[in-house]
Amino acid sequence: MKERLQKIKEEALARIKASQNPEALNDVRVSVLGKKGELTALLKSMKEVAPEERPAFGQLVNDTRAEIERVMEEAKKQMEQILLEMKLKTEVIDVTLPAKKNAIGHRHPNTIALEEVERIFIGMGYEVMEGPEVEYDLYNFEKLNIPANHPAKDEQDTFYINKEIVLRTQTSPVQARAMEKGKLPIRMISPGRVFRSDEVDATHSPSFHQIEGMVIDKNITFADLKGTLEEFARELFGAETKTKFRPHHFPFTEPSAEVDVSCFKCGGKGCRFCKGSGWIEILGCGMVHPHVLEMCGIDPKEYTGFAFGVGLERIALLKYEIDDMRLLYENDIRFLRQF
Ligand code: DAH
């Protein structure tokens, strides 16, 4: 029996030594120490040992088992160490590789232009107001002196939610909303999205943006309007910029004008950019119509005011010399990154 035990031990230790990987080690464990393993079998045949020698023999078997387990554990640790070293050698980290970059977006040319316009007017003491994109016909048309059958309603055909509610065609309804708040004087600009049922082309879109402006106070005259817009044009397009006020008609202003700026590309000589005229149209404006003031609860004998409306896309297209409005809506980052 003792010889058998000795043989099992020697063989087990030799197999452990020869093991190349954890699987081989595990095979040794199963075949020697396992339930059906050689050592277990040996214990089962204890009855062949003389009764007085059994305790000593049992002890010997246990010691042998402990010895094999210890050696096996050591071999396993060594194996793990070697595996780790091999792994470290093969998985070299190249710290000189460029890191992964997060793609950061870019401010839209409309946003850049709007922030510039806001900066200019905030600098002149204006506050920025917002109005709803889904608007009552009452504010979008009626209170701006455009009654139900007025032809101006045709020019600004829009999307109707129902008979009384429309997607606003202009930011001008914010004028009426500002006046109705009842706090005077008013000095505000109001940027936002507007809608018209237009076909998409290089200069039209069913949804675009405007910036409305309005001042209401005592003794406001057309001179204030001119001075304000001249200053605005110089700040936006450069100190050399000249302005021209052409008589025009808007239902909610009287008198009304359209404003051209001298072409900042050719300085007014005439070029491809200004279609040879030397001037570029940028906005509509006028003195707030007394009837509009009255409809919005302001006494036109005591207060006067001026208003203007600028197309934001128009400013962005001009400022960045973009020749197709559709580019502004495609959100192609290769385009946007240029500004
Ligand atoms: N709302 C006008 C439009 O969409 C633009 C405009 C013209 C606004 C004259 C004004 C103004 O405030 O005074 O065509």
Give, in order, the Cα–Cα distances in Å from 156 to each of 30, 141, 196, 197, 212. Answer: 89, 10, 6, 8, 16
Expressed in angstroms and rounded, the spacing between residue 169 Cα and the centre of ligand 1 is 10
Which ligand 1 atom is at minimum distance from the Cα of 214? 12
Q: What percent of the chain has pLDDT over 90?
A: 58
Expressed in angstroms and rounded, the spacing between residue 173 Cα and the centre of ligand 1 is 10
- Ligand 1 pocket test: pick from 296, 308, 312 the residue with the most ligand atoms within 8 Å of its Cβ: 308
Identify the three-state secondary structure at position 114.
helix
48 — pLDDT class (breaks 50, 70, 90): confident
| 81 lies in the same domain as 117 | no
The pLDDT value given to residue 106: 86
| Mean pLDDT value of segment 127-132 | 97
| 14 lies in the same domain as 49 | yes
Strand partners, 287: 306
Q: For residue 238, what is the domain's CATH number?
A: 3.30.930.10
Considering only CA atoms, which residue is closest to atom 8 of ligand 1?
309
**pTM for the structure as a whole:** 0.72
| 272 lies in the same domain as 155 | yes
Nearest to 315 by CA among 236, 250, 244: 236
| 42 lies in the same domain as 180 | no
Residue-range definition of the domain harbouring residue 238: 109-336
Residue 305 has pLDDT above 90, yes or no: yes
Rounded distance, CA 118 to CA 236, Å? 11
211 — pLDDT class (breaks 50, 70, 90): very high
- The pLDDT tens digits for 308-317 are 999 999 999 9
Rounded distance, CA 266 to CA 201, Å? 26
| Mean pLDDT value of segment 252-263 | 97
